[in-house]
Amino acid sequence: MENGLKPYEEYKQTNIVWNEKTPLHWEVKRGKEIFKYKKEINSKYQCSNILSLTLKGVVKNSENNPIGLVPKDYATYQIFEKGDLVFKLIDLENYKTSRVGFVNQRGIMSPAYIRLQSYVGCNNKYFYYQYYDLYLRGVYNKLGEGVRSTLSGKDLLNLRIVVPPKEEQDQIVRYLDSKLSKINKFFRAKKKQVKLLKELKQAIINQAVTKGLDPNVKIKPSGIEWLGDIPEGWEVRRIKTIVKNTAITTTQKDEDDIYIGLENVESWSGRIINASTETVFDSTAKKYNDGNILFGKLRPYLAKVTIPSKKGVCSGEFLVLETLSGDLYNKFVEYLLRSNSIIELISMSTYGAKMPRAEWDFIGNIKIGLPSLNEQQEIVTYIEAKTRTIDKAIESIKKQIDIITEYRTSLISNVVTGKVDVRGIEVEDFIEESEEDFEDLEEPELLEENIEMGEEE
């Protein structure tokens, strides 16, 4: 049990598959006995405060620099009031997107979302925590399995929920708010450490691939504004003279070929995550061979650059690059293309406000400084030695975050379902944080998912 918390004295069966028992004095009701499904469209532009449901919760969005897809007209959006619950129960095959939010201010959000308002005296935030627990346990995804892959407002309101007395709802909210405030501060501190370590790693890479390893080497002007001076023995070359864009498209793959999507490449590290031979793709992909360099051209600021270890197929949003001669080390080119300087330069060239993409014509014409093959190999060896310790430190911190994340999930579940009794527990004072305070709470990969799924039309 959580930190010595005890269970209630007596329990009863609920006939709820995902919550079999509840304290004896708690009620079991359907959501429609407490909440109503309401949709109020912003047809007369009654409200201009744009909100988004993200993995960080319900956050204030910007009309000028929005997160996610934007509508042609905000008159199609629906109005939410402070204290409402918001649900995104579409595309339920996707386990990595936000599903449940608590609205802290009046605003407008996508018409695809479900809005619930209570019409009996209750603490809405308690029920937010209960519905959020179902999200953490993947209950909505399981209920949406099959052809539909979606749940309606009616489906949601028909779900059975447990209902403690109002004073217990209030105490549970106070307890969880206090505990989660501390956990979020821990997350923020740890993720700030990760961010600083990643910045240090990128600085090491950027310096090595643009200036070399010898601080005392003779230098010469490169004639390239962004690059400045380079070691005297380096050549000035355009990227298209060292790699070619192969662009061999396909609509199918061999049985043992893995498929790599943008989501399978970790930003800034090139690590390939969860790529599989079983992935089915329904659009044109590209073939690549082992040793090719994949460069993510969609949102290039995410720096998704990698070298797969075996041949396969990848998303059409990658450029597939092949080195043009034997005096080029593909690993050096990978580090060069993923360096801060190159990524910033390419990002400034993108087109498309919602889904910015880079073009090979621009990338290929970028001028860079190129050392000899021997020096390329020395630079790669140096980078990997210097960053190995940093990577270990990052992984150690991530493991700490994972442990506390698991604790957070079990804490919420055990408290809101009545597995533990928090009545009479003294709650420490805490400062309630606004949504904006959670800017650094999520991993870049999760934030990226938010960007793509922040609004659904």
Q: What is the per-residue DSSP string for 121-172?
A: S--HHHHHHHHHHHHHTTHHHHHTTTTT----HHHHHHSEEEE--HHHHHHH
Length of the chain: 457
At 378, list the tokens. Answer: 């020395």
Count of Cβ atoms closer than 10 Å to residue 317 Cβ = 19
Write out the chain's pLDDT in tens, 457 residues: 466 799 999 999 999 999 999 999 999 999 999 999 999 999 989 998 999 998 889 998 877 666 666 777 889 999 999 999 999 999 888 877 889 999 999 999 999 999 999 988 899 999 999 999 999 999 999 998 765 689 999 999 999 999 999 999 999 999 999 999 999 999 999 999 999 999 999 999 999 999 999 999 999 999 999 999 999 999 999 999 999 999 899 888 888 899 999 999 999 999 999 888 877 776 789 999 999 999 999 988 889 999 999 999 999 999 999 999 889 999 999 999 999 999 999 999 998 777 889 999 999 999 999 999 999 999 999 999 999 999 999 999 999 999 999 999 999 999 999 999 999 999 887 776 654 444 443 443 333 333 333 333 3
Task: Read off φ and ψ for residue 287, nearest 5 degrees.
Answer: -85, 145
Which of 383, 379, 382 minimizes the C-alpha distance to 370? Answer: 379
Alpha helix (H) ranges present in 358-372? 360-364
Report all structural domains of the chain as residue ranges with CATH numbers, in order of start: 2-189+397-453 (3.90.220.20), 213-370 (3.90.220.20)
What would you report as the CA-atom Rg of the chain, rounded to the nearest whole angstrom? 26
For 101, residues 6+ apart whose C-beta sits below 8 A from its C-beta are 53, 57, 58, 85, 86, 87, 128
Count of Cβ atoms closer than 10 Å to residue 49 Cβ = 13
For 333, residues 6+ apart whose C-beta sits below 8 A from its C-beta are 242, 243, 293, 321, 323
The secondary element (H helix, E strand) that includes residue 376 is: helix 373-416
Q: Structure pTM?
A: 0.81
DSSP 8-state symbol, 25: T
At 423, list the tokens. Answer: 């009545």
At 200, list the tokens. Answer: 């240090």
435/152 Cα distance (integer angstroms): 27
At 81, list the tokens. Answer: 């009031």
Task: Read off φ and ψ for residue 248, nearest 5 degrees.
Answer: -90, 110
286/265 Cα distance (integer angstroms): 16
The secondary element (H helix, E strand) that includes residue 390 is: helix 373-416
